Structure 1
Amino acid sequence: MDQHRIYNMTFSSIYGSLLKKVERKNRTQAELDEIIRWMTNYSQEELDNYKTNDRTVREFYDNARLNENRHLITGSICGVKIAEIQQPLMKEIRYMDKLVDELAKGKAIEKIKRQPK
């Protein structure tokens, strides 16, 4: 199994980077939390717990109840097409990266939270 180093990083450290990214573009922590909750189905309390403890990114995704519409997230992130990512955990991480990029670029929250047509 591919063991990328991000899998064992704490979610709290990753969250801090995501927050800085969206705040630089005048988006809010509440908006970031909303798209993370959409993706993971965590409550705000559960998400807050991950933001403040030493649990890993792997644990964060392993315990999530991932949104069934996340497969509607398409495109590329860091030059890699999401559809071509083979490792399941990395694909989930890249889905989240794509959502955060869209938020930072000013996309409306309701469009970020994919719904089937």
Structure 2
Amino acid sequence: TFVKLYFGGRYNFLDGKRSNVTFGLPPTEKALDAYLEILEGSSLPWAVAAIGDCVVETGLAKLAIERGGHVRVGLEDFGGERQPGNLELIAEVVALAKQAGRAVATPEQAAKILGLPR
């Protein structure tokens, strides 16, 4: 089992335009704290995602990495003014992990964390 913590971003992820219409909690430290309080006492692995925003620019990726969580990253979730590629987004999260002293999972390790069949 793997818990995905979704946060609503500042942009409509369908058309990329800034929007005041969102869902769920905003991509903030207080919102992450609320989710983590719900998971307190659990050993379930978890990841953050900012749907319609940049998980790195919001600070959510850094917070998750520092607190032992994982980060869902890619163009599927991204929203914002800039137009990065998937590799650029991944490189940003890898850099945050290195800064925090966290190793980046290999494909085999990621499959195990996600509970995927071999």
TM-score over 0.5 for the pair: no
Structure with the larger RCO, 1 or 2 (CA within 8 Å, 6+ apart): 1
TM-score, normalization by structure 2: 0.25
Q: Which has the higher helix share?
A: 1
TM-score, normalization by structure 1: 0.25
Which protein shows a greater Rg? 2
